[in-house]
A and B are shown apart, each in its own frame.
Chain A
């Protein structure tokens, strides 16, 4: 079960600054199911999270509004991450284990599959922390990075997405 303290951050750059936009607390409770994969040692996942674009906070009201406009928040209010698979069954210990997995990200009405690098740990309270990182581009989702003052201020196409899922195992 994915807990409410899960979070996601999007980090990008323009030619005048860097920005980090965060959804600090996932506002729903969702479940993620694991089952042994049909082929090899992989693990099938089922479950997804839906994050409100309006919940992004870029620590600067102008940047926040700009990101929400660029992601077309009015028409597509949710960023959805669908978890598809892991390359191996994770061993849940306090020591971070590096694994990879497939996800499908739906943003601004476009869905795209990505391989994500994960680090997974389990703490003493049996909370599972899944940290996922992935570079994506605005253009992957047919989005145009904003440009200002006749192109003198430009946002780079590349974004780094980090998300932390905090989960409790259920029988």
Chain B
């Protein structure tokens, strides 16, 4: 349990920096991709900012538990194991969620694909960290 929490915390810190740093840079250099967020569908009063910024830790702790349960199934070097882990997560969790999101929310294909890419990259980074710290 301690290993799951420690690994989750390490991955959470790394994801926090990379995810929000990447998002900040993407907003700065590719502003057109973010115009669709000016929509009441997305919270606009700042009341949920703390929850938004906690996301890196929520996904890291969840994936850390998942990794600890199923890590023997992922073979090869730490990069390969991390990559496969991220892709498995994308297929079993992200694709169905993105599917239902696109079918039920007033969002564009580009927005859904960007979420899929963002989540997949997060899971791959987390997987590489887990494979290195908790092999």
A residues whose Cβ falls under 8 Å from a Cβ of B: 14-17, 19, 60-63, 65-66, 69-70, 144, 146-153, 155
Contact = CB atoms under 8 A, between A and B. Distances in A.
A151 B35 contact: no
Contact of A149 (B31, B35, B37, B41): B37
A66 B44 contact: yes
A102 to B, nearest CB: 33
Contacts of B42: 148-149
A109 to B, nearest CB: 17
A70 B44 CA distance: 9
Interface of B: 20, 23-24, 27, 31-32, 34-46, 49, 52-53, 106
B130 to A, nearest CB: 26
A65 B44 contact: no
Among A60, A69, A144, A149, find the residue whose CB has the most chain B CB atoms closer than 10 A.
Answer: A149
Nearest to A14: B38
B49 A150 contact: yes
B34 A153 contact: yes
A150 B53 contact: yes
Contact of A148 (B31, B37, B53, B106): B37
A63 B39 contact: yes
Contact of B40 (A15, A60, A69, A151): A69
A48 B132 CA distance: 70
B46 A16 contact: no
Interface centre among A60, A63, A146 (most CB of B within 10 A): A146
* A-B pairs, 9 with minimum CB distance: A62-B39, A146-B44, A16-B31, A150-B52, A16-B34, A148-B37, A69-B40, A150-B49, A17-B35
Contacts of B46: 147, 151
B45 A15 contact: no
Contact of B39 (A17, A65, A152): A65
